[in-house]
Amino acid sequence: MSASPLNQHDRLSGVIGMLIGLVFCIGSVSLGLGEIHQPGPGFLPFLVGAVLVCLSAIIFIPTLRKEKSVHRQEIGRGLRKYRKGGLIVLALVFYNFCIGFLGFSLTTFLFVVFLIKIVEAQGWTRTLVTALCSAAGFYFVFQSWLMLDLPTGPWGF
Amino acid sequence: MRKMILVGMLVGVLGVFFSLSFAAFPEKPIQIINPFAAGGETDMILRIIANAAPPHFGQSLVVVNKPGGGGSIGIQYVDKSKPDGYTILSGSLATLLLHPHMEKVPYTYRNFKVIGQFGISQIGLFSKADTPWKDFQGFVKYAKEHPGEIKYGSAGAGTIGHLLMESISLTAGGLKMVHVPYAGTAPALTSLAGGHIQVSIGDVPPAIPLMEAKQITPLVITNTQRVKTLANVPALPELGFRGVDVWKALFAPGDTPPAVVKHLEKALDATLKDQNCIAALAKIGQEPDFIGTEKFTIKMMEDDKWLAEIVAKLGLAKK
Amino acid sequence: MDVLQHLIVGFRVALEPMNLLLCFLGCLGGTLVGVLPGFGPTAAMALLLPGTFHLSPVSAIIMLSGIYYGAMYGGSTTSILVNIPGETASVMTCLDGYQMARKGRAGPALGMAAFASFIAGTIGVIGLMLLAPPLARFALKFGPPEYFSLMLLGLTMVSYLSQGSMIKAFIMAGLGLLLSFIGTDIISGVSRFTFDFMELREGVGIIPVLMGVFGVGEILSNAEEEMGREVFTQKIKGLLPSLKDWMDSKWALIRGALLGFFLGILPGGGAAIASFMDYALEKRLSKHPELFGTGTIVGVAGPESANNSATAGAFIPLLTLGIPGNAVTALLLGAFMIHGTQPGPLMMQRTPDLFWGIIASMYVGNIILLILNLPLIGMWVRILKIPYPILSPLILLFCIVGAYSLNGNLWDIAIMIFFGVLGHVMRKAGFEGAPMILSLVIGQMFENAFRQSLLIGDGSFLIFIRRPISAALIAISVFLIFTAAFRRKIPQTN
C-alpha cells in the first residue's frame, strides 16, 4: 500500500525483540545488578535488554493499526519458496550430526550429492563429479596439508 | 620334572611376551592435547619439548590444540579418550585444580593420572617505575597506610594472580586495595605502563620488555623460589608470605596402565634433561622443572587444599 | 638523514635472496590462508613456527610477518567473491564488495582492494618508521576510560552501517551487545548466560557468527530467489578499477590509511574496528550515502585501506614496547623470543639490522603482494562463472570446514548454522547483520572498559570527562548522535 518503512514482519519482529530483551533483563537481575557506581555483572545486560524492549516496542506498536489481510496473503504464498532454503538448513544440520560417526569424507560426499542433485536438481554426472572432487579436494587441503584434525569415520578417513 | 620344565618355559614365554608388549609402547606418535589455542607460552614450551622428544620417548610427540571453555573442552576430551597412553593432557594448576572449584565441570584432577610436572609459570608483582615505594615491603606499608588508594591489575577475577594478591592482603593483616581485572596479563601490563593502575600481578615474560624500557619495576616473585630471569627479585616466602608455584604438568586418562605412565614419566624426565631442550627453553625465558609422579601428586593435593580455602574466603566458589 | 641510512641497511637485509624468498613464501602462504575462512594467520604461523627454528631471527620474522599481511589481502578476496569475510576486519568489504561482484564488477573490487591494501600498507610502514616511539607513548595514554569512549564512538557509528531503518540498526546493535555478554565475566568471575554449556564460557565465537550471518545467510537468501535470476551477472565488466573508480576513492584511501594506522596502534584496537569506523566515516562524508551497500567502490577502498594500515600500526607497540596488540602480534612476540631477541626500546639500538630489516621487508612484502594478487584477479573472477547450483554447496562446505578449523569443535559449525538461519530471517524482516557484528566485536571491550574505569575512578563518572582524550571522544560521539538525528528528520519533513 503506502511506501512506508514498515515491513510485513514487524509485528513478529517486535514481539520477539521484546521477548529477547525481557529474557536478558530477568537473567541480569539474578546475576546481580550492583549499583550504579559499582556495576555488577547484570548491570549492562539489564540496561541493554531494557533498551531492546523499548526499541522493539517502537517497531511493534505501529503494526497494531495495520490491516491483517495483507499479512495472511504473504504467508500462504511464501511457504513454497522456503522449500529450498529449508532443505539446505536440514542438510547442514544433518552434516553436523553425522560427521561425528561417518567421518569427514563420507559426510561431505553425501552432503554435496544431496545439495546438487536434490536441492538444485542437476544431473547425475555433475553431481557425482563435484561431490567426489570436493570431498577429496577438501580432505587434501585441510587434513594432509594444513594438518587439521578432521573427524574420521569407521573407515579411517 | 618334565612338567616343571614345560611350565617354566611357558612362564618364560609369557613373561617375554608381556614385557615385549609393554616395551612395544609407543608404536605410533603420541598426542599432547593443549587445551588452549596455538601460540601461547605453554604452547611454545610444549612444542619445544615435542621437538626434543623423539629419542627419549621412542616416538614423536604431536601437539594438538583443542581450545575452548577456558581449557575445559580439551581436558574433557582427554578424560574421555582411550587410556592407552597415546593421548595425554597438558594441564596446569589453574585449569585442573582452580577452575573446578569455581565452575561446574564434569571432572576433577582425580580423574587423571599424573605423569610429571614439566615447568612452572613465573608470576610476579610489578609496579609503575616512579612510585612512593621502593620495594615490596615499602609497597605493603603504603597500601596499609592508604586504604582504597592502590588499584591493582590482574588477568581477571578468579585467576591465580587475583587469588595471590588477596592472599598477600590477608597475610599482611587486610590491605584495602581495589582490584581492577583485565582480559589477560598483557592488557593489565599495558595499563600499568600507562600509569592507569599502580601495580599489576601476572606472568613475568611479557613484563620484561617493559622493564627494560624502565616503565615498570618488579616488586616480588610469587613463586616459592626466585626465578633465573629476575634473579635479584625476592620471592614471597623470603618475605614471610606464602608463595605458590603455578605448575604445568602432563597427565594421562585415569585408567592408563601404570607401566605406560611410568614409561612416559621417565621419557619426560629424560627429555627435560636434554641439552637442546634446555637451550631452546632458555631462549624464551623458561627453565624445565621436572617433578616425578609421586612427589608431584602430594604437591597437587596440598595446592588443592589451599585453593579450596582461599576460593571459599573470597566467595568465588561455585554455587 | 639517519633514518635513510638505517633504511638502506634494512633493505640490504630484506633483499638478500633467502629473505626475499621467505618473504614471498610467507606472503603466498598468508594469502592462501586468508582466503580460507576461519583458518587464520595465527594457526598458519603456529604451524610454521617450528620450521623457523633453524633460520636466523630476521629471516624467521620476515616470513611470519609475510603470512600476517598476506592473510589480510586474502581475507578480502572471499568477502568480495562470496560474501564470506575471511576475518572480522573484512566484514565491511562484504557490504559493497560483494554487491559489486554481483553486478559483474568483481575485478575492479578485487583490484581496488589490492591497491588500497598496498597504498595503505606503504603509508603505514612509513608512519611506523618515522613515528614509532612517540606514537607508542601516545598509545600508552589510552587507559580504560579512553577505550570506553572509543568504543562508545564506535557504537554511535552503528547507525551509519545500515541502509534501512535506524531503529532496526540499533536493535541489532543491542542484540550484538547482549550476545557479547555471554560467557565468563572477567570483572566478577561469574558465568553469564551460558546455561552450563562449557563451549559458551569464552563467549559466542565471532567468526562462526560472521560466517553464518554473511556466508550461510547469503546462500539461504539466494535459495529463496525466483528461479532464473542469476546470482552473479555473467557479463564481467573489466578486471581493474576504472579511472572514475580511482577519482572517487582517492580521499577514502588516504583517510582509511590514517584512521586505520592510528587505531591499529592501540593494543586491542585493531583492524576490525578500524574498518568499521572508516566505512561509517566515508558514508558520513559522502555526497551519496545511499549508494553505500549497493556496490560503491568507495565502500571497498576505505575499509580495505584502513585494515591494512592497521596491520602496520599493530607492529608499533610490538616493536617499540614489546606489547602485543592482538593474537597475531602475540605470536610474533613469541617467535622473537624463541629466536633470542626481545622486542622493545632496546631492540633498535641493540639489533638495528633486525629492526630495520623487518621494516624494509614490510615494504617488500607489500610490493610482492600487489604483484602476486593482480594476476590472480582474473582467476578469481573466473570462479564466479561456475554455475551457482554447483558453487553454492562448495561455498557451504568452505564455511563448514572454516568454522571447524577454529577450535576443532563441531559446536562452532552449529553456531554458524544457527546464525545463518537467524541472519537470513532477520534480513527478510529488515534487520541487517553489520550493526550486530560491530557490537558483538566491541561489546566486551566496551563493558570491561566501563567497569574498569569506575573501579579506577572510585565509582565516579567524572573520570570519563576529566581525562582529555576520553572527553574528546565522548564529545565526538555526542556530536554524531545529534547530527544523525537531525539528518534523518530533514528529508522526512519534505
Averaged pLDDT, A77-93: 79
Nearest to C377 by CA among C37, C77, C31, C90: C77
Q: How far is CA B18 from CA B24, B83, B228, C490, in A?
A: 10, 18, 45, 88
Q: Which of residues 235-274 of C touch B (CB under 8 A)?
A: 267-268
Q: Whose CA is closest to C325, among C154, C136, C474? A: C136
So what's the pLDDT on residue B126? 96
pLDDT at C142 > cutoff 60: yes
* Strand ordering across the sheet containing B61-65: B61-65, B30-34, B87-92, B246-253, B112-121
Report yes or no: C376 and C363 within 8 Å, Cβ to Cβ: no
Indicate the burial class of A107 (C-beta count within 10 angstroms; 0-12, 13-18, 19 or more).
Answer: buried
Min Cα distance C141 → chain B (Å) is 5
Rounded to whole angstroms, the Cα distance separating B140 from C234 reads 73
How far is C58 from C336, CA to CA, in rounded Å? Answer: 9
pLDDT for the residue A155? 64
Q: Which residues of C, range 91-150, sit inside 8 Å of B by Cβ? A: 140-144
Q: Does B218 score more than 90 pLDDT?
A: yes
The rounded distance, in Å, linking the Cα atoms of C378 and C375 is 6
Other beta carbons within 10 Å of A25 = 18
- Is it the case that residue C236 has pLDDT exceeding 80? no
Q: Are strands B87-92 and B30-34 parallel, antiparallel or unpaired?
A: parallel
Tens digit of each residue's pLDDT (9 = 90 or more) over B95-111: 999 999 988 889 999 99
Mean pLDDT calculated for residue range B310-317: 84
Taking the C-alpha atoms of residue A136 and residue A147, their distance in angstroms, rounded to an integer, is 15
**Secondary structure of residue B217 in the 3-state scheme:** strand
Q: Which long-range contacts (CB under 8 A, 24 or more apart) does C201-205 make?
A: C201/B68, C201/B69, C201/B70, C201/B72, C201/B103, C202/B68, C202/B69, C202/B70, C203/C444, C204/C179, C204/C180, C204/C415, C204/C440, C205/C406, C205/C407, C205/C412, C205/C415
Q: How confident is the model over C222-244, as a mean pLDDT?
A: 70
Q: What pLDDT, in 10s, does the model give residues C194-206?
A: 887 888 888 888 8
pLDDT higher at B154 or C18 = B154
- What is the number of other CB atoms lying within 10 angstroms of the CB of residue B19? 11
| pLDDT value at residue C422 | 92
Alpha carbons C106 and C234: distance in angstroms, whole number: 11
Say whether C186 and B39 touch across the interface (CB within 8 A): no
Report the distance separating Cα B126 and Cα B164, nearest Å.
13
% of chain C residues with pLDDT over 70: 95
Please report which confidence band the pLDDT of residue C272 belongs to, taking 50, 70 and 90 as the band edges.
confident
Where does the pLDDT of residue B37 fall: very low under 50, low under 70, confident under 90, or very high at 90 and above? Answer: confident
Q: Please name which of C215, C190, C196 lies closest in space to residue C87, comparing C-alpha atoms.
A: C215
Q: B82 or C389, which is more confident?
A: B82
Mean pLDDT of chain B: 88
Chain C neighbors of B186, CB-CB under 8 A: 267, 323-324, 330
Chain C hits for B148, Cβ within 8 Å: 458
pLDDT for the residue numbered B220: 95
How many pairs of residues across A and C have Cβ atoms under 8 Å apart? 151
Per-residue pLDDT, averaged over C10-21, amounts to 86
pLDDT band at C228; cut points 50, 70, 90: low
| Cα–Cα distance for residue pair C97/C106, rounded to 1 Å | 7
**Residue A87 in this model has a pLDDT that exceeds 90:** no
- C21 and C370 Cβ atoms separated by less than 8 Å: no
d(CA C82, nearest CA chain B) in Å:
28
Which pLDDT score is estimated for C351? 80
Q: Which chains touch A (3 or more CB pairs under 8 A)?
A: C
pLDDT value at C270 more than 50: yes
State what percent of residues in chain A have pLDDT above 70. 80
What pLDDT, in 10s, does the model give residues C22-64? 888 888 888 888 887 777 787 778 777 777 777 888 888 888 8
pLDDT band at C492 (very low <50, low <70, confident <90, very high): very low
Q: How many residues does the structure list for chain B?
A: 319
> What is the band of C164 on the pLDDT scale with cuts at 50, 70, 90?
confident
Q: Which of A10, A92, A123 is nearest to C223 (CA)?
A: A92
Specify the pLDDT at position C231: 66
**Is C186 close to B157, i.e. CB distance below 8 A?**
yes
Rounded Cα–Cα distance for residues C324 and C328 (Å)? 8
C189 interface with B at CB cutoff 8 Å:
yes
A18 touches chain C (CB under 8 A): no
> What is the mean pLDDT of the segment spanning C403-426?
89
Determine the pLDDT at residue C48. Answer: 78
- Using 50, 70 and 90 to split pLDDT, how confident is the model at C224? confident
Please enumerate in sequence order all residues whose Cβ is within 8 A of that of B90, keeping only pairs 6 or more positions apart, or say none. B32, B33, B34, B35, B42, B46, B248, B249, B250
B225-232: average pLDDT: 89
Rounded CA-CA distance C81/C94 in Å is 9
> What pLDDT was estimated at residue C144?
93
Band of residue A1 on the pLDDT scale cut at 50, 70, 90:
very low
pLDDT greater than 80 at residue C264: yes
User: Which of A7, A55, A120 faces C171 most closely, judged by CB atoms?
Assistant: A55
B182 contacts on C by Cβ (under 8 Å): 186, 448, 452
Interface of A with C in 121-150 (CB under 8 A): 121-122, 126, 130, 134, 138, 142, 146-150
In this prediction, residue C487 carries a pLDDT of 64
- Rounded CA-CA distance A155/B224 in Å is 51
Residue A4: pLDDT band (50, 70, 90) is: very low
What the block records as the C-alpha cell of C400 is 563448514
First to last CA, chain C: 60
How far apart CA B70 and CA A152 sit, in angstroms, is 26
Grid cell 603420541 — which residue? Answer: B30
Can you give the pLDDT at residue A51? 94
Q: What is the mean pLDDT of chain C?
A: 85
Cβ atoms of C310 and C263 closer than 8 Å: yes
* Alpha-carbon distance B227 to nearest alpha carbon in chain C (angstroms): 17
Question: What does the DSSP assignment read for B249-300?
Answer: EEEEETTS-HHHHHHHHHHHHHHHH-HHHHHHHHHTT-----B-HHHHHHHH
Chain C nearest CA to A70, separation (Å): 15
Q: Which amino acid is present at C36?
A: L
Apex B8 CA angle, B5 and B11, nearest 5: 150
Record the cell numbers describing residue C176, joined without a space: 550484538
A115 chain-C contacts, CB cut-off 8 A = 392-393, 396
Beta carbons of A111 and A95 less than 8 angstroms apart: yes
- CA B63, B69, B71 angle in degrees (round to 5)? 40
- Mind telling me how many Å the CA of A139 is from chain C's nearest CA? 10
> What pLDDT, on a 0 to 100 scale, did the predictor assign at position C333?
83
pLDDT in tens, A124-149: 888 888 888 888 888 887 777 666 67
To probe the interface with B, which of C182, C186, C326 has the most B CB atoms within 10 Å? C186
Measure the CA angle with vertex C155, ends C86 and C173; round to 5°. Answer: 70
Give the per-residue pLDDT at A7: 67
At residue C227, does pLDDT exceed 60? Answer: no
Pick from A40, A55, A122: which is nearest to C188 by CB?
A40
Torsion of CA C460, C462, C466, C472, to 10 degrees: 130
- pLDDT beyond 50 at A2: no
The more confidently predicted of residues A124 and B190 is: B190
Mean pLDDT in residue range C285-309: 88
Task: For residue A148, give the nearest of C405, C420, C426 by CB distance.
Answer: C405
CB atoms within 10 A of CB B249: 27
